[in-house]
Amino acid sequence: MLATGTKAPEFELYSSPYQKIKLSELKGKKIILAFYPADWSPVCGDQMSLYNEMEKYFDRHNARIVGISVDSRWCHLAFSQHNNFHFPLLADFEPKGEVASLYKVYNNETGECQRALYVLDENGIIRWSYLSPVGINPGADGILSALEQLDN
């Protein structure tokens, strides 16, 4: 994973079938990057659903969460609509895993993102990160602690 204190690499990914988001467009807020292996898998669904419920707590810290996996924008659309997510899922689809590779969380063996979290400050500097075992939902406690530390 990238080291704390590192400037987060810029990227631009599809957030819907016809719209892209650049990391730099989110500047001015703390950003939570939640890399995950795949839409529709049980652990990923639980993790993203938890973050959807936690969004109001992230908002209190001027933070925005985005999910990132190698699934397509169409797969993300169906997954997001099915679960009524209120935050964007970004498609690191083509070239596959390019952004995950920039963040050193792409698994070449499985062709998926690792389950990894980054918290960026308002200037795009990595202030906290966590790599979870692939089969375990990392929850939100670490994210909230990191956000609270950044507020102090």
Work out the pLDDT band at 1, boundaries 50, 70, 90. very high
What's the one-letter identity of residue 71? Answer: D
pLDDT tens digits for range 48-101: 999 999 999 999 999 999 999 999 999 999 999 999 999 999 999 999 999 999
Q: What pLDDT digit, counting tens, does each position of 18-28 carry?
A: 999 999 999 89
The predicted structure's pLDDT at residue 62: 97
Cβ(15)–Cβ(89) below 8 Å = yes
pLDDT for 18: 95
DSSP per-residue letters across 43-79:
HHHHHHHHHHHHHHHHHHTTEEEEEEESS-HHHHHHH
Average pLDDT over residues 128-148: 97
Compute the average pLDDT of residues 115-137. 97
Mean of all residue pLDDT scores within the chain: 97
pLDDT of residue 54: 97
d(CA 88, CA 76): 9
**28-37 burial, b if ≥16 CB within 10 A, otherwise e?**
eebbbbbbbb
Residue 13 and residue 92 in contact, taking contact as beta carbons nearer than 8 Å: yes
**Domains of the chain with bracketed CATH:** 29-151 (3.40.30.10)
Residues involved in catalysis: 44
CB 121 within 8 A of CB 150: yes
Q: With bands split at pLDDT 50, 70 and 90, how would you rate the model's confidence at 152?
A: confident
